[in-house]
Chains A and B, each alone.
Chain A
Amino acid sequence: MKALVSVKRVVDYNVRIQVKSDGSGVVTDGVKHSMNPFDEIAMEEAVRQKEKGKITEIVAITIGGDKNEETLRSALAFGADRAIHIKEAGDVQPLTAAKAFAAVMKKEGAQVLFTGKQAIDDDANQTGQMVASLLDIAQATFASKVELDGAKATVTREVDAGLETLEVDLPAVITTDLRLNEPRYLKLPDIMKAKKKPIETVSFADLGVTAAAGLKTTKTAAPAGRSKGVMVKTTDELIAALKGKGLL
C-alpha cells in the first residue's frame, strides 16, 4: 500500500509571530521555518505503519518555493522513500493545495493521504477534507489512533464528547491530531541518507491545477494587549468586582 504524506513549511512554533507594520501579513523573512508539527505527526504515523508492514511506500509531498526542499529532506529523514516538490512560490490557498494533492493521489494511485489536521500558520483546517471531497473518497479527520487493514482503515478520532471510532474504505484521507503519536528525533545518519533520496519537481501546470482565488486576506492584526488586572483582597471584593462586570 502506497501512502502520500503532505508536509507544509511554516514559521517555526518557537518563533514569536510579528505582524508586518502595514498589516498585509506576518513577518516571514529571516524567520526560522520548519515542518508543520501536525504534518510531523502525519509523517511519523506513516513511518510507523510502514514499520508494521501495513504500508510499502511513503511519498512525501509539499508545495512552495526552493526552501521547501528542506522540509522534504526532513520528511525523507523521517523515513519517506521519495518526495515530490510542487514548486510554486507565493501564497497557496487550501483549495489549490487540495486540488494539487488530489491530482498527485490519482497519479500515484496512493491508498491513503496522511496530513496534519491543520497547519499552524493559517489554521485553516480545510485541505484534507477538500482532497477527500474532490476525489469523492472517505475522510477520517482528527485521528488519535489509526489501524490500517487491507481495504479499510479504523480510525479513532477526538470529538467533544470523547472518542469516536470510524471505519472507512480505502482510499481515504486521514488527518492527524496532536495525540496520535510523538514524532521521533531525526537522527543524524538518517538526515545524511535523506540527502541522497530522490525528489521529483513538478508544477501546478504539470498536474493540471489552476490556482484558486476564492480567499482574500483583507487585514492582519496582532491580538490586542491584555488590560491590566485588579488585585482584590477579600472574597467579597471579588464577588463585587465580578458583579460589577455583569459576570455574576
Chain B
Amino acid sequence: MTVERDVMEYDVLVVGGGPAGLSAAIRLKQKAAEAGKEINVCLVEKGSEIGAHILSGAVFEPRALNELIPDWKEKGAPLNVPVAGDDIYFFRSATAAFKMPGLFVPKPMHNEGNYVVSLGNVCRWLGQQAEALGVEIYPGFAAQHPIVEDGVVKGVQIGDMGISHKGEHKPDYAPGMELRAKYTLFAEGCRGHLGKQLIEQYGLAKDADPQHYGIGIKEVWTIDPAKHKSGLVVHGAGWPLDLLGTDAMGGAFLYHFENNQVVVGLIVDLSYTNPYLSPFDEFQRFKHHPVIAQYLEGGTRTSYGARALVKGGLNSLPKLTFPGGVLIGDDAGTLNYAKIKGSHTAMKSGMLAAEAAAEAVLAGREGGDELTAYSDKFKASWLYDELYKSRNFGVFLHKFGALIGGAINYLEQNWFGGKFPWTFHDLKLDHQSLKLAKDSQKIEYPKPDGKLSFDKLSSVFLSSTNHEEDQPVHLVLKDKSIPIAKNLPMYAEPAQRYCPAGVYEVIGEGDDKRFQINAQNCVHCKTCDIKDPAQNINWVAPEGGGGPNYANM
C-alpha cells in the first residue's frame, strides 16, 4: 500500500531540538545573515515542545554559548545561578563519606565561571532565539527514518499519526510528511534511533572503539530555604556503587539551583555486571546518605526523569559525516565525561556543522555531498582539544575503579595537562558486561519510605509522561521469545530493573510467564536499546508529541 505524502524541501534540516540542534539552526541563520542571503532551516523535535524531552544535570559551561550568542545575558538566557562552590565526596558506605581536598580535584572538575541551569529551560530559550531568526521549528513531530536514495541521505520521513495498536489506520489517520533537505543534521542526543541506523548503514563506527553509556536518573526537589545554598555543586563517587571495584561504576550529583530547588541524580554506567542491579533503586537508596539527606529532608520532590548518556568520548566517536548528512552532539557522542558535561560540546559541534553546511549552501552546492569541512573544523577546534585531553578518563575508571582510576586521571589532568603520551582503550560493549544470574548475588533494596525514596510508578507520574494509548508499541522486540526463553533464565530479565520507568514486567507464575511492555510509561531514555544483553529491543519513535513533559529539567 502506498501512501500519498506531502513533501517540503529545505536547505538544511535539523532532527532534534536539544543544545546541538538548536545551536546549529541558530548558527545557520547567523551565517546566512552575514552573507546577506537566505538559508531556510527546518527543525523537528519529537517532544511536545522544545525542552519537553531535555534532561541534564546540569552544570553549564558557557564557552560555546559565548561564541554563539555573546549577548546572551541581555537576551535573557536562563543562566541565573553561578557555581559558588565545588564539593567532591567519596562515599564509603551508607553512612560514611570523605570530602576530597580541593587541591586534589582534577582540573576538568573545576567549575568556576559555570552555571547551574535547567538545560530544558536553556533549550526553550535557544528555541525562541532560533525562531526569532526565522528557523521553522516543529515540535510534536518525530522523525521515523532517514530518507536514503542512492546512498545519499535526502531528509527524514515524519512518523504517521493515528495508527492503532494493531497497525490499522484510525479515522484520524494522518500520513507523516517527507522533509527533504540539501543537508540533514542529526541531533537526537544519546543513542538516537536514526543516528543508530546511520552509524550502522554507513559503517561510521568501524574505526572507533565501542561506545559506552550511562543512565542518569534525576529529581528536582524544593527544599527548606534555610538549607539552600545557591550555586553549591556536590559530586560524588562510591556508595551505593563501587569505589574500588569496577562491577558497578558511576557518580552522583547534587546541585543547588534557584528558587530553593536542588537537583539530585545518580549516573550508573551501563557496563555494570550484576543483572540484579537496579539503577532506579540504587538512586533511591543513595538519597538516604547523610551527605545528601541533610539537604532533602523536609523537602518536596517535584520532578523525576531519566536519560541515557554517552560517555565513550573521543576514542568512541564515529565518523561524523556521510553523503547528505552529519551527526552532531550526543547523536555522535561529543560529551566530555571527565567534566560530566555535554551541553557546551554538543553546542559547539552543532555550530561547526552549521558553518560547514552554511558554506556549502551559500556556495550554491546542490547538497547530498559529504560535509567533510565539518570534520576538518572539528579537528581544528577547542572541542577536539578538550575531548582529546579527556580521552582516557572513562577508560581509567573502567579499568581501575573510581578511586584509583580517578587518581590516575588526576595525574594526567593536573600534571600532564591531559596529554599522557598514551591512549587507553575500553573494548567491551556495555550489553556484553552482564554476568549470568546464577553467578550473581541478588540485591535486596530497602523499601522506599515515601519521604526521601519512592517507588517507580509514583516517580514516572512526576515526569508528566503521556502517550496516545491506541498506537503500536514503540519498543519493538526483534524476537518475541527472547525475554522469557533466554533473558529470564540467564539474566533474570534485567529489563525489569534497568528500565527507570517500569515499562518492562515479567508477569505470571511457573510456566505461564509472559513479558509485558507498558510502552505508555516510557520516558525515552533509550537504556533498553543499549543494555539488553541480546540487543533484542529496538527503540523506535512513538507518535509525535508522546513521552515525558519535563519542566525545569
Contacts and interface: CB of A to CB of B under 8 A. Distances in A.
A134 interface: no
A195 interface: yes
A182 B172 contact: yes
B138 interface: yes
B509 interface: no
A12 B465 CA distance: 12
B222 A21 contact: yes
B8 A192 contact: yes
Interface residues of B, number: 32
Interface in A178-194: 182, 184-189, 191-192
Nearest to B222: A21
Contacts of B177: 187-189
B138 A191 contact: yes
A31 interface: yes
B142 to A, nearest CB: 11
Given A184-B172, A188-B141, A16 B461 contact: yes
Contacts of B551: 15, 27, 30-32
A209 B473 CA distance: 51
B462 A16 contact: yes
A42 B536 CA distance: 45
A12 B550 CA distance: 12
B394 to A, nearest CB: 32
A30 B125 CA distance: 10
B414 interface: no
A165 interface: no
A24 interface: no
Given A15-B551, A185-B162, A32 B172 contact: no
A60 to B, nearest CB: 19
A11 to B, nearest CB: 9
Interface in B162-200: 162, 172, 174, 176-177
A15 B177 CA distance: 28
A16 B458 CA distance: 12
A217 interface: no
Nearest to A225: B450
Contacts of A188: 6, 8, 138, 141, 158, 176-177
A18 B174 CA distance: 34
B48 A12 contact: yes
Contacts of B140: 186
A189 B8 contact: yes
A14 interface: yes
B552 A32 contact: no
Given A184-B172, A185-B162, A191-B138, A30 B461 contact: no
Contacts of A189: 6, 8, 177
B136 A195 contact: yes
B337 to A, nearest CB: 27
B136 A192 contact: yes
A40 B465 CA distance: 21
Most buried by A among B48, B161, B302, B549: B549
A185 B8 CA distance: 19
Interface stretch (B116-124, B345-353, B359-367): B116-124
A187 B177 CA distance: 9
A90 to B, nearest CB: 19
A58 to B, nearest CB: 20
B161 A185 contact: yes
Contacts of B141: 188
A12 B48 CA distance: 10
Interface in A194-244: 195
A77 to B, nearest CB: 11
A65 to B, nearest CB: 13
Contacts of A18: 302
Contacts of B162: 185
B466 interface: yes
Interface string B99-132: 0000000000000000000101100100000000
B260 interface: yes
B541 to A, nearest CB: 14
Contacts of B174: 184-185, 187
B549 A12 contact: yes
A41 to B, nearest CB: 14
Nearest to A188: B177
B41 interface: no
Contacts of B297: none
Given A15-B464, A185-B174, A32 B8 contact: no
B222 A15 contact: no
Nearest to B552: A30
B525 interface: no
A233 B544 CA distance: 46
B6 A32 contact: no
B549 A32 contact: yes
B247 interface: no
Interface in B1-37: 6, 8
B176 to A, nearest CB: 8
B52 interface: yes
A14 B124 contact: no
Interface in B422-437: none
Contacts of B302: 18
B8 A30 contact: no
B49 interface: yes
A24 to B, nearest CB: 13
Interface string A24-36: 0001011110100
Contact of B549 (A15, A21, A191): A15
A16 B461 CA distance: 8
Interface in B22-80: 48-49, 51-52
Contacts of B464: 12, 14-16, 32
A12 B120 CA distance: 16
Contacts of A186: 140
B49 A32 contact: yes
Contact of A30 (B120, B138, B222, B260): B120
A184 B51 CA distance: 24
A14 B549 contact: yes
Contacts of B466: 14
Most buried by A among B136, B172, B462, B551: B551
Nearest to B463: A16
Contacts of B260: 21
Given A185-B161, A189-B177, A192-B136, A30 B118 contact: yes
5 contacts: A14-B549, A16-B461, A31-B551, A187-B161, A188-B141
Given A32-B52, A182-B172, A187-B174, 15 more contacts: A12-B464, A14-B464, A14-B465, A21-B260, A30-B118, A30-B124, A31-B551, A32-B549, A185-B161, A187-B161, A187-B177, A188-B176, A189-B6, A189-B8, A192-B138
Interface of A: 12, 14-16, 18, 21, 27, 29-32, 34, 182, 184-189, 191-192, 195
Instruction: Give 5 nearest A-B pairs by CB, closest first.
Output: A14-B466, A185-B161, A30-B552, A188-B177, A31-B551
Interface of B: 6, 8, 48-49, 51-52, 118, 120-121, 124, 136, 138, 140-141, 158, 161-162, 172, 174, 176-177, 222, 260, 302, 461-462, 464-466, 549, 551-552
